[in-house]
Structure 1
């Protein structure tokens, strides 16, 4: 004679199996979700803009920037001492490339977009943030630097303007290379137009220390529009 105390109906067996699968899925995906959130970077959007009672906002292609919906655009702030500089910080995923524009909103709710082409930003943990000017398109500068490095070293560029980190190594802009192009490093970044910009290259070591190249600061004079390419050799 057999016992039926340990027999489980097939319907209940399916429920138990589903419960085990869900528990395993949650155990796997929860750490991944936390890791993804940890990769968000605080990006500072800053713009020089004079106003006559309007407020400044930023909107763009990412959901965090309102996905081009003025009603969900992110407001910028200023103070009596900072005006006409407006700024705000937004959490964005590292590595994400976004397009954005600034908006002026009048006290009656009338919205005025910048008339220039969309601005572009690639989010980097080492990025210095933006130092834009209302309705003035930035210059696009491509930095090419030939530099030999040791294992674990990486090459960066910094300079006299906020777009290049204002000489702060922690905010220097990264350059990249690969096995096919090394020792040539490259990176494309924005610079303010019609400006004399000083810059230098630096190497960041695995232990966090920094080595600047020798010699005087390099200088480039940007134009009012377009792009430029800088071809340099580490010294």
Structure 2
């Protein structure tokens, strides 16, 4: 190579290396996640309340990595904390108390389960009380773009707030049957009602009085209703 070309070649190599080092790198794809608020009613005597569970975001069952919950003088004995969890994940979790000396007290009840969806806003739990798995099944015809929801007198059903109601789903093979599942407290009288959300955001409530049911002490509850 002629000596006169060597500086030009070296400059080209340096420029290529500089461009390679500053080129943007593609970000690794991440699963969609959503913010879930863990809420629990629990009395304490100087302890800190925490939640842990089967996913890394909840500490992977390690009390040292558990998520601390907070409360205030006006909110006590209700505690809460927000955690971002992957949509589609089924999470097992449990609450625990940590004393000022570091002693850990776990709930004595079985693990709780939460299936995370894009509509999941959070939990409404009570210390050592395992909820009943409730399934709402409603037969209702709808117009294009309408969706069916259920709400009721409990926080788990949105406390009559349509924005916090439980969405029901259907499919080509099951329509006009709509279903939705949500945990409810055991041994509890529940009032509830269905409504349709229209494409423009307006609501159409079903006719008649509020529906009512009492949840069992344990296990599951399934209600089968028809829109009225």
TM-score bracket, shorter-length normalisation: 0.7 to 0.9
- Structure 2-normalised TM-score? 0.85
Aligned residues: 218
d(CA) in 2 for partners of 1:82, 1:208: 32
Name which of 100, 103, 114 aligns with 2:96. 103
- Structure 1-normalised TM-score? 0.83
**Conserved in 2, the CA contact under 8 Å of 1:56 and 1:75?**
yes
Task: Name the CA shift for 1:108/1:228 in 2 (closer, same or farther; >3 Å).
Answer: same
d(CA) in 2 for partners of 1:197, 1:225: 15
Paired residue secondary structure (2:64): helix
Unaligned runs of 5+ in 2: none
Is 1:141 the counterpart of 2:141? The answer is no
Name which of 48, 64, 76 aligns with 1:71. 64
Unaligned runs of 5+ in 1: none
Structure 1 residue 136, shift from structure 2 partner: 0.9
d(CA) in 2 for partners of 1:230, 1:102: 29
**Conserved in 2, the CA contact under 8 Å of 1:128 and 1:163?**
no
2:189 corresponding residue in structure 1? 196
The alignment's C-alpha RMSD in Å is 2.6
Moved over 6 A (4+): none
Task: Name the CA shift for 1:128/1:211 in 2 (closer, same or farther; >3 Å).
Answer: farther
1:209 corresponding residue in structure 2? 202
d(CA) in 2 for partners of 1:160, 1:57: 27
Structure 1 residue 40, shift from structure 2 partner: 3.0
